[in-house]
Copies of this chain bind each other. A is one copy, B any other.
Amino acid sequence: MKTNPGNFFEDFKLGQVIRHAVPRTVTAGDVALYIGLTGSRFALPSSDTFAQSIGYARAPVDDLLVFHLVFGRTVADISLNAIANLGYADCRFGAPVFTGDTLTATSIVIGLKENSNRETGVVTVRSTGVNQWDETVLDYIRWVMVRKRDKTSPAPEPVTPDLPAEVGVQNFTVPASLDVQDLDLDLSGSRHLWDDYAIGERIDHVDGMTLEESDHMTATRLYQNNAKVHFNQHSEARGRFGKRLIYGGHIISLARALSFNGLGNAFRIAAIHGGRHVAPSFAGDTIYAWSEVTAKTEMPGRGDLGALRLRTIAAKDHPCTDFPKAGDDGKYPEAVVLDLDYSVVMPRGRIRQSSAR
């Protein structure tokens, strides 16, 4: 057979290294489409001069665009036969990516465990994205539930890797040249810096963004993510939901873009500790988001920067004025679609609220 049937559970071997296809050169076109499809307004990836004012050679590519492009490489090998994308862990953003860089991805299988129904199994991989100099730009663990080709094939020795509950601050990276001393808070779009945020603080990001089929498909195609459920209404009409599912990463991007309103100086995503796509989203849904500051950490060797650990929750057709989240029973309100646990880097300093603009 000439076509790629995707890998089934039996095709994965512990320690196997998979070199993913289609290296991708990131261009100004990708960056513009990312802004056009998400509405992101963070100043750093929008502006060469702003980037230069804080020590970058020019505007780096949005961290989540890097994530989606690396993730997109892995889909044909890892999750074409996945029933569910179960989770992420230990996701670290590395070297900044600039337009002209070419991203390639590799995965290594670090966990395999057949499910008791013998029809599926859980595959855990560490995926790594590198640039053309083989510098790591992104590194993350993902585990997915994958179909077996044949129920009767023997189960492998079960291996469930230890997953770190969080990425340690020692693994947060920013360019050595980063210098926020002359950060212009008028231009960044927010007067609030690391010292202004308190643990437990909750921020409603206020705005909503309605999903359109064309938008999410264009975003997902841009990432060359070929998971079938996003594109084929003819088959999905007879599927579980009767309609195309939206790539969970698109929801992450929308939540991040909405979070500019309240977190405008959170210009760098350092790590994703974990995340759950709590419920699927569909065209026509309007996405809202809110964030809670769950921890604050100083950045080693960088007195000018701090990290905020955030929990950003996205909900559909439900403004987040009531800060919807999981209850004590772990159950989420019906509207919640995303619960993302991640850390951002922010310049330190305290802005007095009374400062005139």
With both beta carbons as reference points, the residue of chain B lying nearest to A197 in the complex is identified as B2
Bound state CA distance, A315 and B205, in angstroms? 36
Residues of B within 8 A of A33 (CB): 29, 32-33, 36
**Copies of this chain, tallied across the complex:** 3
- Whether A19 sits at the interface, judged by CB under 8 Å, is yes
Bound state CA distance, A212 and B41, in angstroms? 23
Residues of B within 8 A of A319 (CB): 234-235
With known contacts A19-B187, A189-B76, A49–B25 Cβ distance under 8 A: yes
Q: Are B29 and A226 in contact (CB under 8 A)?
A: no
Count how many chain A residues have C-beta atoms less than 8 Å from C-beta atoms of the other chain.
Answer: 84
Q: 1/0 contact trace for A214-236 toward B, CB 8 Å?
A: 11011101101010100111110
With known contacts A232-B209, A286-B234, A47–B22 Cβ distance under 8 A: yes
CB of A161, distance to nearest CB on chain B (Å): 22
Question: Is the contact region of chain A dominated by helix, strand, or loop, or is it mixed?
Answer: mixed
CB of A260, distance to nearest CB on chain B (Å): 9
Q: 1/0 contact trace for A196-210 toward B, CB 8 Å?
A: 110001011111111
- Whether A261 sits at the interface, judged by CB under 8 Å, is yes
- Whether A284 sits at the interface, judged by CB under 8 Å, is yes
With known contacts A3-B206, A203-B2, A208-B234, A47–B189 Cβ distance under 8 A: no
Residues of B within 8 A of A226 (CB): 39, 41, 207, 261
Q: Are B3 and A23 in contact (CB under 8 A)?
A: no
Given contacts A29-B32, A234-B317, A235-B319, 17 further A-B contacts (CB under 8 A): A2-B196, A2-B262, A3-B262, A20-B186, A21-B264, A25-B58, A39-B221, A49-B102, A49-B104, A76-B189, A207-B228, A208-B228, A209-B232, A210-B232, A214-B215, A232-B286, A234-B286
Q: What are 12 pairs between A and B in contact, CB < 8 Å?
A: A4-B189, A18-B357, A21-B187, A22-B43, A25-B48, A29-B30, A37-B218, A39-B226, A41-B226, A46-B224, A207-B228, A215-B218
